[in-house]
Amino acid sequence: AQSVTQLDSQVPVFEEAPVELRCNYSSSVSVYLFWYVQYPNQGLQLLLKYLSGSTLVKGINGFEAEFNKSQTSFHLRKPSVHISDTAEYFCAVSESNDMRFGAGTRLTVKP
């Protein structure tokens, strides 16, 4: 069965610094991978997704993620963060009909 592990529950970072949020997955078949963002008191919004093809995926708000099949990872990166990036980020994996989410990483951007 598919599962996702987000390696950091909280990541504090200063404004304009780079950030990486780590995600590892397990699955017995080909998977589709996603990153979602949740701002306070809101639902989840899709940041980016990997379905096939290029292993480097670009998303909204300057985020990108790299699919690494040998390491079963899908880490999210941004070269320079803003205060407005403060939110909770969820990695997710889908094999077929449903999607399983990690526990989330709270990114806090400090001035």
Q: Which residues bind another protein (CB under 8 A)?
A: 4, 6, 9, 32, 34, 36, 41-46, 49, 51, 90, 94-104
Least Å distance between CB 94 and another protein?
Answer: 3
Cβ distance to another protein smaller for residue 5 or 72: 5
Rounded distance, CA 74 to CA 6, Å? Answer: 10
Cβ distance to another protein smaller for residue 73 or 104: 104
Least Å distance between CB 16 and another protein?
Answer: 29
* 19 within 8 A of 78, measured Cβ to Cβ: yes
End-to-end CA distance of the chain: 41
SS3 content of the chain, % helix, strand, coil (to 5): 5, 55, 40
SS3 of 18, please?
coil
Least Å distance between CB 81 and another protein?
Answer: 22
Cβ distance to another protein smaller for residue 43 or 111: 43
